[in-house]
Structure 1
Amino acid sequence: MLRTRVLTAVVGIPLFLVALWAPGGWLFAGVCSLLAGVGILEFRSVYSEREGHRYHLNPVLLVWGASLPLLTRLFPDMALHESLLPVLGASFLWELARAWRQGVAPIVPNLSYALFGALYIGWLMSFAVRLRNDFTPQTMYELPIEQGVLWVVWLMAMLWTGDSGAYFAGKLIGKRKIAPSISPAKTVEGSVANLILCALVGYGVGLAVGVSAPVAIATGLGVGVLGQLGDLFESALKRAVGVKDFGGILPGHGGVLDRFDSLLFSAPFVWWVVAYWV
């Protein structure tokens, strides 16, 4: 299991960094939309069967959710409601047409599950693109780089290090369960290791990218807390439908939602820090 996780990371992280570094942020936004799309398909696959009913999650909302990261790059200043309102109108018409053709349909679950999936996955993922949208020119080791790349590297360094620290601390010294009813494998010791490492990496990398020490440490602690809450929230979603993983596209990690759950809760927080405190 560990070997598979490491091999997936060895292949995936360089590809992610290449997409992140590419000038203009277009490739990164496209990758984020692709990840959001796969995550939404995973969510749809699991949540289309609920309480003995077969739901057809509204495709208009699902496609909109998958496109939100790319739309954030295309229209950086567009507010969420500016795209949501016409999409809601189109989704209502879609459900009306489906009911017209097929008779009575579970319209509310079709819409509500789809809207939740679009916002939870697509909208939260789009905050990583918002971070990347800072195109201020910088240099790193005499190589040109855009400031947004550094913000995303800061975020991902905290998440990856904290997640790895929690995994190994839990395996080696973990005894006390932090939330056994939601995620039996997570321990208090692993959670503390996550917080400590996030604070240390947040401080170290934060100073390197131009963040003051107090803000960097506070951000690291915030990412440590929110990343773990995102992980627990995703675990609760899985437990509600009795599945272990949302998918298997990333060997050793599960699906896209299983791997990027902590990012979904942390990216909006780091964007807020960068926008208002840096």
Structure 2
Amino acid sequence: MSRGTPAGARQLDPRSMLLRWMTALAGIPVFVGLCLWGPVPFGIATAIVAALALAELLDAYEAAGMAPSRIAAAAGLFGPAYPLLAAPDELRARHPWLPAGTLETAATGVLILLVAAVVYEVARAARTADLAAGRRLAFGLLCAVCVALFGALSGLRTDTARVGTGVAPSLESGAALVLTLALAVWTADTLALFVGRAWGRRKLAPALSPGKTVAGAAGGLLGAVVVGALAGRLLAGSLPVGIAFGLAAGVFGQAGDLFMSALKREIGIKDFGAILPGHGGLLDRLDSLLLAAPVAALLAGILR
């Protein structure tokens, strides 16, 4: 252990870190480009990513012998699809092919899938005498909730009004909000890693994620608030929204990370997948957005 390295701190593998940075450098421009392109491309991409993340989660549970109900889990896809299924009027004016759905439409689809899942599991139990229907449905609902939360991110992007201020007054408000949140989340993740590596001594939640430290969490929170405030003021034209998004990223982003770590501990895996070199699966990279995005969307609705 090198001098100045706290006991128990993570030893960062240079090759792994290089892969992480290379993947980030490739992925961030794609994310930003889709966000700036418009609500529909961003919403479609979010729905596709959510579907792939759901497949990762289902495969992980099945490999561990927990076999969640895939029908119940599929109900969660209405979350990321909802902002396009029930698009606001100004967005449908741009894209007349978008369905004029409502909350009731999405709720009906979810209800149909959940009823179908229950009927299927009951029929399966009667046919095979396998009495794990409740467990499969419960795990399926957990997967559905996880993937449904992605809908908050695409929901934020649907606001097509111009910011009218800041460094890019012609930027759409939805794009400004998404970019502000993303910058705050990325800052929290990065500073939590490096501050924890440099000064972390007290573990944050060793049973869930041994590498996370209290110092890292504090550094991530502080950095997220500062960057969120700057991005909120410069991009979204609102300092309060930026601070709120920074708090959402610093608190709930790290909580989402720990929640997914708890699931991985329960399942007995290190990563949900290997699609992103140096990061693991999609859920391993996007776990910080699972709770941060819904909280940020709620705060944006209150403050704007």
Q: Tell me the TM-score normalised to structure 1 length.
A: 0.89
Residue 148 of structure 2: aligned partner: 123
Q: Distance in 1 between matches of 2:74 and 2:230?
A: 39
Are the counterparts in 2 of residues 124 and 265 from structure 1 also a CA contact under 8 Å? yes
Q: Distance in 1 between matches of 2:19 and 2:227?
A: 25
| Count of aligned residue pairs for this structure pair | 273
Question: How do 1:137-156 and structure 2 match up within 5 A?
Answer: 137-138=162-163, 144-156=170-182
1:100 Cα offset (Å): 5.3
- The one-letter code sitting in structure 2 at the alignment partner of 1:40 is L
1:70-113 CA-partner distances (Å, limit 9, x unpaired): 23322245166443222212222332443455443521122111
Are the counterparts in 2 of residues 166 and 190 from structure 1 also a CA contact under 8 Å? yes
- The one-letter code sitting in structure 2 at the alignment partner of 1:127 is A
Are the counterparts in 2 of residues 58 and 114 from structure 1 also a CA contact under 8 Å? yes
Residue 7 of structure 2: aligned partner: none
Q: Distance in 1 between matches of 2:130 and 2:268?
A: 28
- The one-letter code sitting in structure 2 at the alignment partner of 1:6 is W
* 2:211 counterpart SS class: coil
Q: Tell me the TM-score normalised to structure 2 length.
A: 0.82
Residue 133 of structure 1: aligned partner: 158
The answer as to 2:212 corresponding to 1:186 is yes
Counterparts in 2 of 1:185 and 1:12: CA distance versus 1, 3 Å: same
The answer as to 2:76 corresponding to 1:60 is no
1:3 to 2, 18, 36: 18
The answer as to 2:38 corresponding to 1:32 is no
2:199 to 168, 173, 180: 173
1:107-157 CA-partner distances (Å, limit 9, x unpaired): 11221111110112x211100011011111347867854211111001101
Give unmatched runs, 5+ long, in structure 1. none
1:2 Cα offset (Å): 0.9
Are the counterparts in 2 of residues 36 and 65 from structure 1 also a CA contact under 8 Å? no
Residue 41 of structure 1: aligned partner: 55
Residue 257 of structure 2: aligned partner: 231
1:159 Cα offset (Å): 0.2
Moved more, 125-134 or 28-37: 28-37
Moved more, 104-113 or 194-203: 104-113
The answer as to 2:84 corresponding to 1:73 is yes
Counterparts in 2 of 1:33 and 1:215: CA distance versus 1, 3 Å: closer
* 2:130 counterpart SS class: coil
2:121 to 68, 92, 95: 95
Are the counterparts in 1 of residues 61 and 67 from structure 2 also a CA contact under 8 Å? no
* 2:193 counterpart SS class: helix
1:12-61 CA-partner distances (Å, limit 9, x unpaired): 111111221222x12211221122112211211221255xxx44422222
Counterparts in 2 of 1:19 and 1:232: CA distance versus 1, 3 Å: same
Kindly, what percent of the aligned residue pairs are identical? 35
Q: Distance in 1 between matches of 2:160 and 2:191?
A: 32
1:169-205 CA-partner distances (Å, limit 9, x unpaired): 1222222211111111011111111011111011111
* 1:185 counterpart SS class: strand
RMSD across aligned positions (CA)? 2.2
* 1:137 counterpart SS class: coil
* 1:94 counterpart SS class: helix
Give unmatched runs, 5+ long, in structure 2. 1-15, 88-101
- The one-letter code sitting in structure 1 at the alignment partner of 2:71 is V
Residue 186 of structure 2: aligned partner: 160
2:291 to 257, 265, 270: 265
* 1:66 counterpart SS class: helix
1:218 Cα offset (Å): 3.9
* 2:31 counterpart SS class: helix
Are the counterparts in 1 of residues 78 and 148 from structure 2 also a CA contact under 8 Å? no
* 1:186 counterpart SS class: strand
Are the counterparts in 2 of residues 37 and 65 from structure 1 also a CA contact under 8 Å? no
Are the counterparts in 2 of residues 72 and 78 from structure 1 also a CA contact under 8 Å? no
